[in-house]
Amino acid sequence: MRVAVLGAGVMGAGMVGALRRAGHEVAVWNRTASRARELSATGAVPAATVTEAVTGADAVLTVLFDTAATLAVKAELTAALAPGAVWIQTATVGPDGIAEIAAEVPAILDAPVLGTKKPAEDGTLVVLVSGDPALRDRCAPVFEAIGSRTVVAGDTVGPASALKLVCNSWVALAMAGIAQSVRFADALGVPPGLFLEAIDGTATGMPYAQVKGGAIVAGDYTPSFAVDGVVKDLGLMIEAAGRTGFPAELLRAAQDLYVRTAEAGHGDADMAAVAEVFRR
């Protein structure tokens, strides 16, 4: 397939590499053009404009930061979209965001992904998809290239974006809990490595705790999922909870932690930097 990728950040760049390894032709556009040009080493073709990237594509992946960034390219994207081509929207935008993005677009799939930098680079993301089954089938080669598996959330646009918020709520809360426990060990005079060793291999000792706990101990906040992105996603979760009357106290508490982390200058750092809030 010929695939256009709009957005060459951490996730978009990883997807471009995975698509190229699977043999797809890829055109890539990014608002900062140098990022798209860097991906020419994979065999992808950098495009100067959205129109140039999308023209002739069988599928278009948008991998942008939020609803506003995605809406900013919508008019140009849809004008250049060929008959039979499918727009695959992968950003975390929530149910309201995807409804606005998908309005009056006949061929679009709601397809946010689970995973961060390394899974994107390895082509092992989990694709959460909802939308027309015929469009899903048409885009299966793209999903197989970027992901290890695909979870179908429904036959209409929206459920996949809702599911993504649920999954990211778990990630955000788990990361805050890991950070608190590592720093609590410090406060009590216990080497944090002993905490990670104690839970390793137990029912509560999930691999994520070892990866992120180890990063905190090492002070390595190289971004896989940046704090600013977590703040944005938690805002979407709280909005969605408010519409349904779902209690959002824990989400608000987590949002406060990540906002404080960003305000301390760690907005571009990995979400593990939330551990800095727990320093004495």
Strands 113-114 and 125-130: antiparallel
Q: Which residues are catalytic?
A: 164
Which of 34, 32, 36, 54 has the alpha carbon at shortest distance from 44? 36
CA 217 to chain centre: 25
- HSE, CB side, 13 Å, CA atoms: give it for residue 216: 32
- Segment-wise mean pLDDT, segments of 10 residues, the chain, 280 residues: 97 97 98 96 97 98 97 98 97 97 97 95 98 98 98 98 98 98 97 96 93 96 96 98 96 98 98 95
Residue 178 is predicted with a pLDDT of: 98
269: Cβ–Cβ under 8 A, 6 or more apart, which residues? 221, 223, 226, 227, 261
Residue 280 is predicted with a pLDDT of: 77
Provide the token pair at 62.
């948008």
Only one residue has tokens 């809702």, namely: 162
Residue 47 is predicted with a pLDDT of: 98
CA 53, CA 25: separation in Å to the nearest integer?
A: 11
Full set of structural domains in the chain with CATH: 2-156 (3.40.50.720), 162-278 (1.10.1040.10)
CA 3 to chain centre: 19
Which of 94, 92, 39 has the alpha carbon at shortest distance from 64? 92
CA 13 to chain centre: 12
Three-class SS of the chain: CEEEEECCCHHHHHHHHHHHHCCCEEEEECCCHHHHHHHHHHCCEECCCHHHHHCCCCEEEECCCCHHHHHHHHHHHHHHCCCCCEEEECCCCHHHHHHHHHCCCCCEEECCEECCHHHHHHCCEEEEEECCHHHHHHCHHHHHHHEEEEEEEECCCCHHHHHHHHHHHHHHHHHHHHHHHHHHHHHCCCCHHHHHHHHCCCCCCCHHHHHHHHHHHHCCCCCCCEHHHHHHHHHHHHHHHHHHCCCCHHHHHHHHHHHHHHHHHHCCCEHHHHHHHHCC
